[in-house]
Amino acid sequence: MTTIAFIGLGIMGLPMAKNLVDAGFTVRGFNRTAAKAEELAAAGGQAASTIAEAVDGADVIATMVPDSPDVEAVLDGILAAAKPGATWIDFSTIRPDVAKDLAAQAKEAGLKPLDAPVSGGEPGAIDGVLSIMVGGDEADFAAASEVFEAVGKTIVHVGPSGAGQTVKAANQLIVAGNIGLLAEAVVFLEAYGVDTASALEVLGGGLAGSKVLEQKGQKMLDREFAPGFRLALHHKDMGIVTAAAREAGVTIPLGAAVAQLVAATVAQGNGGLDHSGLLTVVEQLSGTSASAEDEDADAQEGAA
Ligand code: NAP
């Protein structure tokens, strides 16, 4: 496996493709907006101007696009141009049932499909230390190990096609819940005027500690919400997990509540913020956001 086509060079895809270049693979990148493929070329990869050009003769085809319809759209182009026997690794986070259907289509066309969603965020992608949960045939997974090792650190085969996406849905449930409670803790601590940086430091050393607290705590304190992982994508993922839970006949009451908070943040036009920006809606509920305070001041001025 020496030549890799990489389709979707966004926040996650570009650094992953660069790590594959650094690991010695020939990487041909395609991105809808061409400038990002040029960035890959500047880092030692190649820029393809069409999916067909990227995929032609490639041993491995990697995709990293936002949602199920996007993967469906790029797969059409891949199937038209891929060489028989190539491995298709979909790193995107999509619906488990769609992943299963697309894997069947890809197999029918002679490809070896693996659904391999990732966790670890942009820093994990840049550092090549992502957690990767893989669904598909065990032999295809084993044959692609060098590709996974170039972009990830914790790499686990979790079952047949679609299983990787099921595990990722659980991942997104846990992360959203963590972010929601961290945001509530920040609002709570600020209400008491304690030194929040010290508070988060000590919380981080105990059972309340988490990767979410490590990566998102200071950003919440600084109100620094440049993505990272866009709330619009987490909204998509909460839709995936709530639908899949319903389908399985299990309930996720805390997850459903967080899903509504994420939906509210997106509905207010903040889908482009990092998911730590969930804090904005949690603040509004307590009337502690800057805008809520302004309205309060205006109301008091009006009354006076
Ligand atoms: P992103 O920055 O928005 O990048 C998405 C990429 O897909 C862009 O290059 C975009 O091209 C391309 N694209 C979008 N729709 C397309 C279509 N219909 N056809 C072809 N290309 C298309 O998103 P991201 O943050 O990298 O996320 C990608 C996937 O990884 C998502 O499924 C997300 O849930 C998952 N994920 C993200 C993170 C994270 O922290 N960001 C972590 C784990 C998993 P343009 O440049 O033209 O827009």
Instruction: Report whether residue 171 contacts ligand 1, using a CB cutoff of 6 Å.
Output: no
Cβ atoms of 6 and 27 closer than 8 Å: yes
Domains of the chain: 3-160 (3.40.50.720), 166-286 (1.10.1040.10)
Q: What is the number of helices (H) and of strands (E) in the chain?
A: 15, 9
Query: Is residue 118 in contact with ligand 1, taking CB distance under 6 Å?
Result: yes
Peptide bond into 269 cis (omega under 30): no
- Specify which residues 119 forms β-bridges with: 131
What is the three-class DSSP state of 139? helix
pTM to 2 decimal places = 0.94
What residue type is 120 in one-letter code? Answer: G
Question: Phi and psi dihedrals of 83, rounded to 5?
Answer: -80, 145
Centre of ligand 1 from the C-alpha of residue 66, in Å: 4
Let me know if 168 is a catalytic residue.
yes
> Tens of pLDDT along the chain (304 residues)?
699 999 999 999 999 999 999 999 999 999 999 999 999 999 999 999 999 999 999 999 999 999 999 999 999 999 999 999 999 999 999 999 999 999 999 999 999 999 999 999 999 999 999 999 999 999 999 999 999 999 999 999 999 999 999 999 999 999 999 999 999 999 999 999 999 999 999 999 999 999 999 999 999 999 999 999 999 999 999 999 999 999 999 999 999 999 999 999 999 999 999 999 999 999 999 999 865 566 556 656 655 5
3-state secondary structure of 69: helix
Taking CB atoms within 8 Å and a gap of at least 24, the contacts of 256-264 are 257/180, 258/176, 258/177, 258/179, 258/180, 259/176, 259/235, 261/180, 262/176, 262/231, 262/234, 262/235, 262/238, 263/235, 263/238
pLDDT of 71 reads 98
Å from CA of 15 to ligand 1 middle: 12
